[in-house]
Amino acid sequence: MNWKIPLFDLDIGEEEKNAVLDVLSNGWLTMGRRTAEFESLFREKTGARHAYAVASGTAALHLACSTAGFKKGDEVICPGLTFVATAHAIRYTGARAVFTESRGSTDLNIDPGDIEQKISERTKGVLILHYAGFPCDMAEITTVCKRHGLVLIEDCAHSLFSSYRGEKMCGRYGLCGCFSFFSNKNMTTGEGGMIITDDDDAAESIRLMRSHGMTSLTMDRHEGRAVGYDVVTPGYNYRIDEMRAALGMAQLRKLDERLARRREVYTYYRSRLKNLPVELPFEAQLQRRDTVGIHIFPVLLPRGCKRDQVMAQLRSRGVQTSIHYPPVHFFKEFKNEATRLPVTEDLVERELTLPFYPSLTEKEIDYVVECVAGALKS
Ligand SMILES: *Cc1c(COP(=O)(O)O)cnc(C)c1O
């Protein structure tokens, strides 16, 4: 479709094109020097001790859950309001995902109180999502995890460079933080991801599992650092390649400026939507002075409003919208879980995601807001 205003917009310039072409001329395509540079810059930006680039955000989440030691018979608490990959990563290890409530219409993130409610003698960990880039309540969540001896993992697919109270980056509160560079994320490599940790043992296990559990890489042997290899753990092929790492470097260099622009777009949007009968979540995060790397723009429509019709009207005026997310516990795959999450279910019935990207102009935002106002009136 030819949208007047799409949901998101790619931001690929000459730097990215040149970076990829340079790799293609250079003769080394699989994980090598550029990947190491990409990881090093990511460590510098996040302050993490270790960072490993991987094939996707889902691969990062799987490595995190494996490193945490989740296994069959265990339960891991995660939000019902997330992308299905969060729950899949838990399932890959054989553990069961226990879906947990969002706080409510002012904060779509996981409810620390409900985390505590959902803990059983089988619970081994908590996997949280910082929805839309707005940090979860890390003071409460880390306290609950400590009190019950649970491993915390952070799905940071939305929260690249967000930090709770402007103190520490999201992804550094838990054992591991998992990032996605999928095409529509705040920075992209097409497909790709990153996993960070401050724990040396976790880092070693992630490094091995990323590449078949092998003790040396093709690059190490090519450069004479190793002759053979041993295999010390059942690993995967979750490697990234040099084209993506180069693309990622170029995107990462622009990211601070792009995130600042996202905040400006968000602030303007928020001011323009204030007088409409929609709810705007995450006031608490703004009050708390979290630094936010905002990924999407969710609004909550009034109860009883027909979202399909609102979306159809916006579509007819060239405005693309979406829903984040159909709740995981509603999918056929998870039907045996038989969970009810009344708060989450109310939120996902009303949630509407508006177009949001750094290059949106005030005029375009005004147009979207006018279309939303029109759709709500009729
Ligand atoms: C995008 C996303 C993922 C998965 O990332 P991929 O890179 O597509 O594997 C996981 N969790 C959430 C919340 C996401 O938005």
Domain ranges of the chain: 14-252, 255-377
pLDDT at 217 exceeding the cut of 90: no
Report the topology of domain 255-377: Aspartate Aminotransferase, domain 1 (3.90.1150)
Pocket probe for ligand 1: among 155, 160, 296, 348, the residue whose CB has the most ligand atoms within 8 Å is 155
- Between CA 239 and CA 223 the distance in angstroms is 18
Q: What ligand 1 atom has the least distance to the C-alpha of 82?
A: 13
Condensed to tens digits (0 to 9), the pLDDT of residues 46-58 reads 999 999 999 999 9
- Between CA 140 and CA 128 the distance in angstroms is 13
Percent of the chain scored above 70 by pLDDT?
Answer: 100
Q: Which uninterrupted H or E stretch holds 312?
A: helix 307-316
- Residue 347 has a pLDDT of 97
- Residue 287 has a pLDDT of 86
Report the topology of domain 14-252: Aspartate Aminotransferase; domain 2 (3.40.640)
E strands present in the chain: 50-54, 75-79, 96-100, 102-104, 107-110, 123-129, 151-155, 163-164, 168-169, 176-180, 193-197, 297-300, 351-354
Q: What is the mean pLDDT of residues 276-288?
A: 92
Name all residues whose Cβ lies below 6 A of ligand 1.
56-58, 82-83, 85-86, 129, 155, 157-158, 180, 182, 193
Q: Residue 196: phi, psi to the nearest 5?
A: -120, 150
pLDDT at 338 exceeding the cut of 80: no
Q: Residue 352: phi, psi to the nearest 5?
A: -135, 130
Examine the residue annotation and report whether 332 is marked as an active-site residue of this protein: no
Per mean pLDDT, which range of 84-88, 265-269, 287-291 is the poorest? 287-291
